[in-house]
Amino acid sequence: MNTTFRRKAAVGAGALAVGVLLGGGGYSAFVAAERAVAAPSPEHVAAFAINDPEGYAQGVSLATADLAERVTPAVVQISVQVAPQMASRSELPEEFRQFFGLPFGGRSAPEMEPQPRFGGGSGFLVSSDGYIVTNNHVAGDAQTITVRLQDNRTFDAELVGSDPTTDVAVIKIDADGLPFLPWGNSEAVRVGEWVMAVGNPGFGGSSLDYTVTTGIVSAKGRPLQLIGRGLEQDPRFGREMAGYAIENFIQTDAVINPGNSGGPMIDMSGRVVGVNSAIASTDGHFQGYGFAIPSNLVQKVAHDLMTEGRVLRPWLGVQVVGVSPEDAEAFDLPSVSGVLVQAVTEDSPAQEAGLEQGDVIVSVDGQTVTSGGDLQEKIAVLDQGDRIDVGYYRDGEARTARVRLGEAPMAERSARGAEPRRSGAPAEMERFGLSLQPLDRSAAEQLGYDSAEGVVVASVDPAGPAARKGIGVGMKVVEIDGTGIGSVADAAKALADVESGEVVTLVLDTPSSGTRLVNVRAR
């Protein structure tokens, strides 16, 4: 059976961002002063003896309903618009390929005119002054963000920051006195516990506002390789950045619904223990496998984004894999557990502490390490400069290394506006949020241009000036302020003296609509 992991993109015409976990019962109440979810009162759950099945069931039902009633005001609906991109018709789904007259496997026709892409998902308030946590794949690339609260008030939101290596983003609305959800301890969550998740997927005309489902924690520490694959395939990040992806998901059997990405997974005390992010499916529909990002990791990332504008990622400096039975036998280990160090980065904290290739790490500060993702999460929730005790085996002997965590070399590239969110273009073009490349024969044929001459837009910063003016990948740049452009060097020269705040006039060309003028202000 070919099972695929899906974190449905929150973009495309009518696309729905999916990837949620919804789980079960608990009870909580809002504190009037802050309107945060407080600890549950015991009357709904403690008064029902197990020898009274009907009363017990009614009590559980009331507790679940009470929890849903008190949590939903802090869950929000997020609608986004993403910068348009040029798209070859060969990239369309097969049913659309047939609609456009493209046979299966047939030669692709010229690209469609770029159109704004819309989508959205869910999020939840984490402060009374409007900070909202959601998924990076919901809001990280958004050009505009709109938030709707339960009382139907609508706000424009700004992206505070996002971290593609954990799929976490923080946005903010200008409001006060809002209900918000408190954080729980995902490390303490046990398999079999009831959880509830709430989503608000009613964007794009959907009527599924405030969907609540319940279930149990089915497993912990699931490494889906979903975030890493996405980073590796994204030209802004690549394989190096993919190595910093943290995937240690909580699995649940709670039903997943379209648009619930970014919604909270709630424990029975009304606290957030995860952020819904993905499903595993053979056909794109929920089949009993939902996944959430652990709250301990999300809380650390969100705190960094809210206070620093970027993720302060601590760094150990090892490459590891899970221990196999063969490893345990070869290294004379007492059990098949821990992670095997395959490589130690030069001049890293791990090397300075004496860790070596072939060591088997089994604990961090006394907490058992079960997988590579588990080790990454345990490190990621700490701070740079923290000193930790790493328990490991070498030559069958248990040892401990005292390690002072450093700063991850890629840490600054995690946040919106840092390196990966920019084009990597020369500074002249970076001020406009785009990069250019020569139009070679292959690209000209794919894009539908008659000749392989000039330059085309290679990438666009979704938050940059070019994106806001509708400039998309694949558009040919013909002129800049009246100067003909035949090469990337020509473009760089034409923009060399442009200062921040100045407006330049671009003449752009597409095969389907011809030339047009676009005025763009440098940032």
Per the CB < 8 A criterion, the answer to whether 244 and 167 are in contact is no
Around Cβ 130, how many Cβ atoms within 10 Å?
21
Count of Cβ atoms closer than 10 Å to residue 35 Cβ = 17
Considering the domain architecture, whether residues 223 and 318 belong to the same structural domain is answered as: no
Domain identity same for 336 and 260: no
Catalytic machinery residues: 137, 167, 261
**495 assigned to some structural domain:** yes
Residue 412 within a domain: no
Sorted by sequence, the CB contacts under 8 Å of residue 339 that are 6+ apart come out as: 320, 321, 322, 323, 360, 361, 369, 371, 372, 375
Whether 224 and 350 share a structural domain: no
> Is 183 domain-assigned?
yes
pLDDT at 38: 46
Domain assignment present for 46? yes
**248 closest CA partner among 277, 284, 283:** 277
Q: Give the pLDDT confidence score for residue 445 in this predicted structure.
A: 72
- Examine the fold and report which residue of 281, 308, 335 is the final residue of a domain before the chain moves on: 308
Residue 414 in domain: no
Residue 139 lies in a domain: yes
Question: Same domain for 203 and 146?
Answer: yes
pLDDT at residue 148, as a whole number? 93
Give the Å distances, CA to CA, from 145 to 25, 76, 476.
31, 12, 28
Could you tell me if 281 and 387 lie in one domain?
no
Give the number of domains in the chain: 3
Task: Determine how β-strand 406-407 pairs with β-strand 168-172.
Answer: unpaired
Q: Of 308, 326, 353, which residue is a domain's last?
A: 308
Say yes or no: 129 and 155 in one domain. yes
d(CA 377, CA 368): 12
Exposure of 114 in the CB half-sphere (CA atoms within 13 A): 22
Does residue 430 lie within any of the structural domains?
yes
Which CATH number is 346's domain given? 2.30.42.10
* Alpha-carbon dihedral 80, 82, 84, 90, rounded to 10 degrees: -90
What is the CATH number for 265? 2.40.10.120
- Identity of residue 75: V
Task: Identify the pLDDT of residue 330.
Answer: 86
Entry pTM: 0.64
- 131 and 14 in a single domain? The answer is yes
Tell me: do 249 and 350 sit in the same domain. no
Q: Note whether residue 389 is domain-resident.
A: yes
Whole-number Å distance between alpha carbons of 67 and 64: 5
Residue by residue, pLDDT tens for the chain (523 residues) are 444 444 443 333 333 233 333 232 322 222 223 345 444 444 444 444 467 777 777 878 888 899 989 999 999 999 998 876 544 433 433 333 332 333 334 444 444 555 667 888 899 999 999 999 999 989 988 889 999 999 999 999 999 999 998 999 999 999 999 999 999 999 899 999 999 988 887 654 555 677 888 899 999 988 877 787 777 777 777 776 777 788 889 998 887 676 788 999 999 889 999 999 876 555 555 556 788 999 999 999 999 999 888 888 899 999 898 898 988 888 889 999 999 998 899 999 999 999 999 999 999 999 999 988 899 999 999 999 999 999 999 999 999 999 999 988 765 444 543 333 333 445 667 788 888 888 877 677 767 788 888 998 877 776 678 877 778 778 899 999 999 999 888 888 888 888 888 888 899 988 866 777 788 888 8
Do 396 and 432 have their domain in common? no
User: For residue 151, what are the contacts with CB-CB under 8 A and spacing of at least 6?
Assistant: 73
The rounded distance, in Å, linking the Cα atoms of 123 and 262 is 5
Which range marks the domain in which residue 182 is found? 4-308
Task: Please state, in angstroms and rounded to a whole number, the distance separating the CA atoms of residues 511 and 208.
Answer: 40
53 and 184 together in one domain:
yes
Which residue among 407, 431, 447 closes a domain? Answer: 407
End-to-end, the C-alpha distance of the chain in Å comes to 50
Instruction: Answer yes or no: do 48 and 135 share one domain.
Output: yes
Query: Is the domain of 463 the same as that of 482?
Result: yes
